[in-house]
Structure 1
Amino acid sequence: MNKHTTQADFPTEFDYIIVGGGAAGCVLANRLSARSTLRVALIEAGGPDNTPRIHVPAGTISLYKSQKYTYQYYSTPQAHLDNRRIHVPRGRMLGGSSSMNSMIYIRGARSDYDHWESLGCTGWGYDSVLKYFMREEDNRLHQDPHFHGTGGELIVDQPRDPLGVSRLFIQAAEEVGLKENADFNGAQLEGVGIYNVTQKDGKRLSAYRAFVAPVRSRPNLHVLTNCRVASLVTDGQSVQGVTVEHNGQFHVLRAHRETILSAGAIGSPHLLMASGIGNAAQLLESGVPVVADLPQVGCNLQDHIDGLVTLRSGSATTLGFSRASLGSVLPAPLQFLLKRKGWLTTNYVEAGGFASTRYAQGVPDVQFHFVPGYRSHRGRLFEWGHGFALHTCVLRPQSRGSIRLTRDGSRAPEIDFNFLSDERDALVLLEGIKLARRILRASAFDGIRGKEMAPVAALQTDAELMAYLRATASTVFHPSGTCRMGSDDASVLTPDLKVRGLKGLRVADTSIMPTLISGNTNAPTMMIGDKAADMILSELA
C-alpha cells in the first residue's frame, strides 16, 4: 500500500489478518498465502526496507537510533540498575527487528524447548520444533543433516570476511578452557566460534526478504505498509478484525477466520491491552474499557541482561577510525560492491559463544558476543581509534518484568524489565564478566591489547564489579514472554497460541515463550511463525 491508495481500493476483507511484518509475521504470511484459496493480509506499521542501511551488514549500527526505521522505546527506571532507563529499539519496517539485528543464527538449547513442554506446552519440545527450523533453512555450510535443512527460504551462511581479530578471540577462549564449536545449532551449544549469519550474497536476509518478497506477487497476499493497527475489533466473545490508521484515515479490516498478533513482546501485549484485553484493574486505571480480564497479559517479561568489557588497542587490524585505518576504510564501499568483502561486511559481533559459570546446571548459562572494534565506554556509536570488546549476557534470567499501559492518558507501553530483581541473575552476570576478562587477558591478545576502559583494571572485588554492572548493564534486545502460552488457566495462550476466552485471535511471536531461550531470538521467532501456520492450516483440513 502506498500514499496514493484510495478509500475505494483499500482492501478490507480477508480470511486471516497478521499484525506485524517481523520475523514470525513474515513466515506466517508466506505459509498461509501458499494456500491460494485463503486471502491473507500482512500489516506493518513501518514502511519498506529500501535502504542500504538495512541490506549492507555494517549498516545495522546506523539503525538503532533511527526515528524512521525503529521504535525508540525506553524502559522505566530500573530499580536494580541505579534507576537507569534502558534504551529498547525495535524494528519498524518490513522485516521488523530482523531488518536491523546482527543476523546471528542461533536456535537455543534443546533443553529450552523440552522445558516448555514440561510446563504443559504440548508439542513444543525440541524434537517437535526441530522440523520447522530445518524446513525453513537453506544451510550453505554442509553442517550435520540431522540438525540442518537445505532448500528452505532462509539462507544460513558464514560471514563473508570476518576480521582476523575475531579468530584471536577463539584462540583466547581456548586458552581459558573453552573449546571451539563449529555449529552452535548442532549436537551441543557450549563453546566458541564464528557465528553463522542469515545473509544472501553477503547482504542481510531479513524475514521479509526470505519469506515475503519472493512471493509478494501472490494475488491472495496483501502487504499493507505504513498502516498502524489502533485496536482489535471485538464483541467481547470473539475478534473479527482490526481498526487501522493509514494516511490519517481509519479503516476496519475484517478477518473471516482469525486475527494473528505478531507484533513482538512489546507490541502484541500492548495491542491487547489497548483493545481492553488484559488485567482489568490496570486497564481501568489507564482509562480503557475492559473487554476480557486476562491478568497475565504483559506479565512474565524476560530479556538477556548484558555486561561489557572493552579495551583500547593500538592496532589498526581492529575496526576503528584512525589515520592508520584509512587504507581499509576508504576502499570499503568498492570492495563490498564488487566482491562483498571488506569492512562493510561486518555485523560487529562476528564471533562469540556459550559458556557455563559455576551456577550452570548442565547447560551453558552465559553467552558472549565479541566485537572486533572499540566499543565505546561512554555509550557512543563511534569513538576515534581502535580496540575490541566482549559482551556477556545471562542466558536464562530468573527476573521477571512487565508491559502495561501508561496511566497518563497516552496508553503508550510502559516497559519494566525489572532487571536483576532476582539475585541469581546478578551472580551469573558477575561470573560471566569475570570469565570475559580472563578471555581478553589471554596471551592471544598480547600483541594488540591496550588499556581496559571498562570496567577498568582497578575494579577487582565482587562488590566493585557488581557496582559497575548495576551502573552500565543493558539489554541484548531479546524481549519475550509477555503473552505466555501454557496449560494453566493463568497463561494468556493455550499451546495452540489461541488467546484464552476469545475466539478468532492468536498470538505468534517471542511473547508466547514461557521462558526465554538460550541465545539470539530471530531464528526461534521464525520457527514460532512456521509452527503457528501449521496449527492454523491443520484446522482447515
Structure 2
Amino acid sequence: MFDYLIIGGGSAGCVLAARLSENPDISVALLEAGPPDTSVLIHCPAGLAVLAKTGQANWQFQTVPQAGLNGRAGYQPRGKVLGGSSSVNAMIYTRGHRADYDHWAAQGNPGWAYEDVLPYFKRAEHNQRGADAFHGASGPLNVMDLAQPNRFGPVFVEAALQAGFEPNPDFNAERQDGVGLYQVTHKNGERFSAAKAYLTPNLTRPNLRVFTGAHVTRILLERKRAVGVEFHHEGAVKQLKASREVLLCAGALQSPQILMLSGVGPHAHLLENGIATLHDLPGVGQNLHDHPDVVLVVDAPQAKDLFGLSFSGMVRAIQGIFEWRRHRSGLLTSNFAEAGGFIKSQVSEPIPDLQLHFVVGKLVNHGRTTTFGHGYSCHVCLLRPRSRGSVTLASKDPLEPPLIDPNFLGERDDMDRLIRGFKLMRQILAQPALAAIGGRELAASARARTDAEIEHFIRDHADTIYHPAGTCRMGPGTLDVVDAQLRVRGIEALRVVDASVMPRLVAGNTNAPVIMIAEKAADLIRAAQV
C-alpha cells in the first residue's frame, strides 16, 4: 500500500514523484512501462538521431489513415523510458504564449492564467542566464544556451532578419515574436531530462519506489473511487493499492486509453469494446489536437560543417564521439534543431500562429530515412490548429495500441495558414545569408510553386511535431474530463496530470508546460492532504 500511485514515468510523473516524496511521511510509487534511462544515446544530446532511427525507448505509435494527409498514417513517437518524451525529444525549452494560459483560465479554469502559472515555470527552472522576472535560477530543471552551437544556426537567424523578421533572444520573456537560438534542457554537455532533473537525485529516498517495465492496464475503482492499479510486470499481472490518490500521467495518447480500459469514458464506446461502464464520461479521448508540421529540406554539399552522411561527416562524427566521451563537449552536444522562431502567417494576426525549427542537417521522415550528403532543414508548424480528433480503443486488450486520429488538417483554416507559413519559410531560406551556401531545395518541395502545388506537397509530407494534447480536457463543460484541480469528474482520488488536460494546445514545444502542470499539480495535491 502506498499513499500515491503515479502512472507513467514521463515528465509529469517524474516531477510528481520528486515533489510528493519530499514529505518523508508520504509514500509514493511510480510505474513506468519502459526501462531505466541508462542508454548513452539518451544522455548524449546528438544521440536523439540514433534514437529516432532505431525507435529505442519509444512507443512508435501510428495514427489511423488521415484524410488531410492524403490517406497517410502519421508517425506518433512517444517516450517509453524513465523521463518519457523528455528523454528522447529535441530538448527545446519553450513555454508557449502568455495568451495560451489566459485562454485556459477564460474557459472556466481558475488558477491557470499566465500570472498564475509563471511562478511554477520559475520554480522548475534553473536558467544558467540567471533569475529575472520571467526565469528561475534555483529549480531542478537546467536550462541553458547551447554551449557550442553549429555556425549555421546564427546564419538562419541572419537570413530571417534579412527577410524582415525581428530578433528575439528569449522566447520565454516579455514577447514571443521573432527569431533566435533556442535554449535547451542540457547540463554539462548532456541531455537534462525530467528524470535527471527530478527523479535520479531522489531515488535513494526510502519513501519512493520506482517500478520500470510496469505496463499499467487499468485503474482499480471501488464505488467510483480510485483505490489502486493493475499492471503487467516481470511476466505477471500485479496490483498495487493507493490510500490517498492515483495520479494518471501517461500522456495525451495513453491517459485516455487507460481511463477507458478502466471503465471510465463514453458509454457507447466502452460497450462496443466489451468493457463495463463504471463511469460514463463522454469527453475521455476527445479533443485530440497536435501541431501539424511540414519540413523543407535543402541539399548543401559544400557546407561540410552541417551534419551529414559523407566520408568527412563520418570523420567529424568519430572525432565528436571522442570529444564528448572525454570532455562532454563538441559536435555531439547539438540538439540539431538549434534555431527557430515564432512568426505570424499574415500581418493581421495579433500573435504568432506559426513556429519555425531550423535543423542543422537533412531531416526526412522524422530522421528515420537515411539521407546522404550535407544540408539543412526547416520546419514550419501551425501553433493553434482548429482541427480536432480523438483517441479511442482498438479493443479491450490493454496491450494493443489505441486508435489515434488527430484529424490533421481537417479544417480549411489550418491548411491556409500552413500554406502561408511554407511560403514565409521559403522566403527566409532564399535570403543572401543562406543562399550564399549554394544549397538546392529537394525536388519534392521545389516543384511546389503555386498555392495548390504547395497544398499538395503539405498533404503528402506533413506530420506531427510531437505535441499531442487535449484528450482529458480541463474545464467545467460536459465534454471536459478534469476540473481545475485536475480531478477526474465523478471519480474520487483520481487526477490526470499531463498534456491531455490542456484545454487548448500551447503555442510552442510542450515539455516545459507539462513540467509546469506537474509542479502546480503537486501543490494542488498537497493542499488536499490538509
**What TM-score results when the alignment is normalised by the length of structure 2?**
0.97
| 2:453 is the alignment partner of 1:467 | no
The structure-2 alpha-carbon separation of the partners of 1:186 and 1:379, relative to structure 1 and needing over 3 Å to count, comes to closer
Distance in 2, matches of 1:449 and 1:110, equals 39
Q: Which residues of 2 match residues 75-114 of structure 1 at below 5 A?
A: 75-114=63-102
| 2:387 is the alignment partner of 1:399 | yes
The structure-2 alpha-carbon separation of the partners of 1:408 and 1:464, relative to structure 1 and needing over 3 Å to count, comes to farther
Residues 429, 435 of structure 2: 8 Å contact kept: no
Report what 2:521 is aligned to: 532
| 2:352 is the alignment partner of 1:343 | no
The structure-2 alpha-carbon separation of the partners of 1:313 and 1:412, relative to structure 1 and needing over 3 Å to count, comes to closer
| 2:155 is the alignment partner of 1:189 | no
Residues 237, 502 of structure 1: 8 Å contact kept: yes
Residues 455, 465 of structure 1: 8 Å contact kept: no
Give the secondary structure class of the aligned counterpart of 1:272: helix
User: For residues 41-66 of structure 1, what are the alpha-carbon distances to aligned partners after superposition, in whole Å with 9 as ceiling and x for unaligned?
Assistant: 11111110111110000011222354
User: Which residue, 33, 38, 63 being the options, matches 1:50?
Assistant: 38
Q: Which residues of 2 match residues 222-301 of structure 1 at below 5 A?
A: 222-301=209-288
Report what 2:111 is aligned to: 123
Q: How far did 1:268 drift?
A: 0.5
Distance in 1, matches of 2:16 and 2:439, equals 48
Q: How far did 1:327 drift?
A: 4.6
Distance in 2, matches of 1:395 and 1:524, equals 14
Identical columns (%):
44
Q: Which residues of 2 match residues 153-232 of structure 1 at below 5 A?
A: 153-232=140-219
Residues 310, 455 of structure 1: 8 Å contact kept: no
Q: How far did 1:409 drift?
A: 5.9
> Mean alpha-carbon deviation: is it higher for 145-154 or for 231-240?
231-240
Which residue identity does 2:159 align to in structure 1? A
Distance in 2, matches of 1:142 and 1:381, equals 40
Structure 2's unaligned 5+ residue stretches are none
Which residue identity does 2:394 align to in structure 1? T
User: Which residue, 425, 438, 447 being the options, matches 1:449?
Assistant: 438
Residues 75, 88 of structure 1: 8 Å contact kept: yes
Residues 445, 457 of structure 2: 8 Å contact kept: no
Give the secondary structure class of the aligned counterpart of 1:435: helix
The structure-2 alpha-carbon separation of the partners of 1:65 and 1:257, relative to structure 1 and needing over 3 Å to count, comes to farther
Residues 160, 340 of structure 1: 8 Å contact kept: no
Report what 1:491 is aligned to: 480
The structure-2 alpha-carbon separation of the partners of 1:167 and 1:507, relative to structure 1 and needing over 3 Å to count, comes to same
Give the secondary structure class of the aligned counterpart of 1:449: coil
Q: Which residues of 2 match residues 382-397 of structure 1 at below 5 A?
A: 382-397=370-385
Q: How far did 1:509 drift?
A: 0.2
User: Which residue, 503, 513, 516 being the options, matches 2:492?
Assistant: 503
Report what 2:428 is aligned to: 439
Residues 358, 379 of structure 2: 8 Å contact kept: yes
User: For residues 380-424 of structure 1, what are the alpha-carbon distances to aligned partners after superposition, in whole Å with 9 as ceiling and x for unaligned?
Assistant: 443111111100000011100100001586753100010111111
User: For residues 240-279 of structure 1, what are the alpha-carbon distances to aligned partners after superposition, in whole Å with 9 as ceiling and x for unaligned?
Assistant: 0101111111222110010000000011000001111101
Residues 29, 211 of structure 2: 8 Å contact kept: yes
User: For residues 277-321 of structure 1, what are the alpha-carbon distances to aligned partners after superposition, in whole Å with 9 as ceiling and x for unaligned?
Assistant: 101001111111111110110000010000111111122121112
* Number of matched pairs: 528
| 2:415 is the alignment partner of 1:426 | yes
**What TM-score results when the alignment is normalised by the length of structure 1?**
0.95
Distance in 2, matches of 1:215 and 1:337, equals 26
Q: Which residues of 2 match residues 349-388 of structure 1 at below 5 A?
A: 349-358=337-346, 361-376=349-364, 380-388=368-376
The structure-2 alpha-carbon separation of the partners of 1:251 and 1:326, relative to structure 1 and needing over 3 Å to count, comes to closer
Distance in 2, matches of 1:361 and 1:312, equals 33
Q: How far did 1:490 drift?
A: 2.6
Which residue identity does 2:285 align to in structure 1? G
Distance in 1, matches of 2:10 and 2:418, equals 30
Give the secondary structure class of the aligned counterpart of 2:47: helix
Distance in 2, matches of 1:237 and 1:201, equals 47
The structure-2 alpha-carbon separation of the partners of 1:248 and 1:374, relative to structure 1 and needing over 3 Å to count, comes to same
Report what 2:15 is aligned to: 27
Distance in 2, matches of 1:42 and 1:420, equals 37
Distance in 2, matches of 1:94 and 1:480, equals 20
Distance in 2, matches of 1:239 and 1:140, equals 41
Report what 1:515 is aligned to: 504
User: Which residue, 476, 497, 514 being the options, matches 2:465?
Assistant: 476
User: Which residue, 307, 310, 319 being the options, matches 1:331?
Assistant: 319
Distance in 1, matches of 2:167 and 2:94, equals 16
Structure 1's unaligned 5+ residue stretches are 1-12
Which residue identity does 2:216 align to in structure 1? V
Which residue identity does 1:196 align to in structure 2? Q
Distance in 1, matches of 2:374 and 2:338, equals 17
Give the secondary structure class of the aligned counterpart of 2:276: coil
Give the secondary structure class of the aligned counterpart of 2:274: coil
Distance in 1, matches of 2:366 and 2:238, equals 45
Which residue identity does 2:259 align to in structure 1? L
The structure-2 alpha-carbon separation of the partners of 1:232 and 1:378, relative to structure 1 and needing over 3 Å to count, comes to closer
Which residue identity does 1:167 align to in structure 2? P
Which residue identity does 1:283 align to in structure 2? L
Give the secondary structure class of the aligned counterpart of 1:76: strand
Give the secondary structure class of the aligned counterpart of 1:71: coil
Distance in 1, matches of 2:30 and 2:397, equals 29
Distance in 2, matches of 1:227 and 1:380, equals 28
Report what 1:309 is aligned to: 296
Distance in 2, matches of 1:78 and 1:185, equals 33
Distance in 2, matches of 1:274 and 1:408, equals 6
Give the secondary structure class of the aligned counterpart of 1:524: helix
Residues 261, 396 of structure 2: 8 Å contact kept: no
Distance in 2, matches of 1:43 and 1:359, equals 47
User: Which residue, 302, 307, 311 being the options, matches 1:319?
Assistant: 307
> Mean alpha-carbon deviation: is it higher for 193-202 or for 350-359?
350-359
Residues 61, 401 of structure 2: 8 Å contact kept: no
Q: How far did 1:376 drift?
A: 3.2
Which residue identity does 2:170 align to in structure 1? D
Distance in 1, matches of 2:514 and 2:352, equals 21
Give the secondary structure class of the aligned counterpart of 2:241: strand
Which residue identity does 1:456 align to in structure 2? S
Q: How far did 1:221 drift?
A: 0.7
Distance in 1, matches of 2:378 and 2:74, equals 19
Q: How far did 1:350 drift?
A: 0.6
